[in-house]
Amino acid sequence: MSDDDDIVTLAHGGGGRALRFLLDRHIAPAVGPEALAHDAARVGSMAFTTDSFVVRPLDFPGGDIGRLAVCGTVNDLAMAGARPTALSLALILEEGLPLADLDRYMASAAAAALEAGVSIVTGDTKVVERGHGHGVYMTTAGVGEVPDGVDIGPHRLQPGDRVLVSGDLGRHGAAILSVRESLGFEGAVPSDAAPVNHVVAELLEAVDVHCLRDPTRGGLAAVMEELCTAVDALIDEPAIPVHPTVRAATELLGLDPLQLACEGRFVAFVAPEDEARALAVLRAHDPDAAAVGTLQEGPGRVWLKDAFGGTRWLQRPWGDPLPRIC
């Protein structure tokens, strides 16, 4: 047993198997496993979710902590099929934070809320001593209305379902990496941080969506391993859209773009007869949307098929090669 077996480490916050261990062993026994089953909890005809944001650095290509906080919570509600209606925003400010920075982050949060069509209606503010808060942490909670007849969740996954992604993957993780490590990738792409509730609403109008999930911590690999517990999945690696700069950066650093976070993308599971209509909706918003795999009968493993026809078991890492990305 290592010294780390009895303490929380950064790996526990990375979206990998360490987080799953932490949730199953130390969180679920107190709150119940149903509280951890989905991005947002269903409460009657409403959905409710909460999230904290500790991203480092606070500013990154394509966004900042304010935009990220609003988009993350709006998107979690959308993954339950809900139409977001109201958010709370709580701030933990570190002594010494320039007020000009706070103004910028608040303006960014307000702009993201306007973009999503949701109101920030309540919140809280605390201040901690210098050296104890990394500038600012944000916690958001949100509620939304689930339309009649919408039933979205892992319980609806079945063999034959097609796996769709709403755009290219790994952008947010790559954007954070480029500034955190001062790598300065040539032609670096911005984070994909954006609210997805509008495109999700259109998708729900067009087809019967079985399940939705946003690939944040742990990326697509974490989503597939987490959801595919009663079915297998075969993912077509060449079909997965990844921006050339993101692919080049991850190859250079020995990272897997399928394990990098997104903050404005989602994975949708639909019946095969609905694939064409679903892709038409997604591609109207992002031409990189793609069908990347199929669910199959099996005990719950995810297989990745490469360009040469070979397959390998896709498993998320124990921790995350890039902690504190949200």
Per-residue pLDDT tens for 138-192?
Answer: 999 999 999 999 999 999 999 999 999 999 999 999 999 888 866 666 557 899 9
Shortest CA distance to 134 belongs to which of 58, 217, 63?
Answer: 58
Q: What is the DSSP letter of 75?
A: H
Task: Give 81: exposed, middle or buried? Use CB within 10 Å, 0-12, 13-18, 19+.
Answer: buried
In whole angstroms, give the CA distance from residue 92 to residue 110: 17
Query: Per the domain annotation, does 269 fall within a domain?
Result: yes
In whole angstroms, give the CA distance from residue 40 to residue 37: 8
Residues 177 and 125 in one domain: no
Residues 171 and 227 in one domain: yes
Residues 118 and 192 in one domain: no
Shortest CA distance to 173 belongs to which of 212, 134, 215, 136?
Answer: 215
Provide the pLDDT for residue 2: 47
Query: Per the domain annotation, does 9 fall within a domain?
Result: no
Query: Per the domain annotation, does 163 fall within a domain?
Result: yes
Query: Per the domain annotation, does 1 fall within a domain?
Result: no
For residue 151, the SS3 value is coil
CB within 8 Å of 177: residues ≥ 6 apart: 183, 249, 253, 255, 322
Residues 188 and 303 in one domain: yes
Provide the pLDDT for residue 5: 73
Residues 164 and 205 in one domain: yes
Give residue-wise pLDDT tens across range 5-22. Answer: 789 887 777 666 777 777
Query: Per the domain annotation, does 8 fall within a domain?
Result: no
Give residue-wise pLDDT tens across range 119-138. Answer: 999 999 999 999 998 999 99
Backbone φ, ψ for residue 31 (5° rounding): -105, -15
Q: What is the DSSP letter of 27?
A: I
Instruction: Count CB atoms within 10 A of the CB of residue 320.
Output: 26
Tell me the whole-structure pTM to 2 decimals.
0.91
Give the count of alpha carbons within 13 A of 198, CB side only: 14
Shortest CA distance to 267 belongs to which of 306, 307, 227, 319?
Answer: 227
Across 302-310, average pLDDT? 93
What are the C-alpha distances in Å from 9 to residues 16, 232, 325? 12, 31, 15
CB within 8 Å of 42: residues ≥ 6 apart: 80, 146
CB 323 within 8 A of CB 10: yes
Across 243-269, average pLDDT? 92
Domain boundary among 112, 145, 178: 145
Residues 90 and 224 in one domain: no
In whole angstroms, give the CA distance from residue 185 to residue 35: 40
Query: Per the domain annotation, does 326 fall within a domain?
Result: no
| Domain extent for 212 | 154-313
Instruction: Count CB atoms within 10 A of the CB of residue 324.
Output: 17
- The verdict on whether omega for the bond into residue 57 sits within 30 degrees of 0, i.e. cis, is yes
Residues 271 and 175 in one domain: yes
Provide the pLDDT for residue 26: 86
Residues 229 and 289 in one domain: yes
In whole angstroms, give the CA distance from residue 43 to residue 317: 33
CATH number of the domain where residue 123 is located: 3.30.1330.10
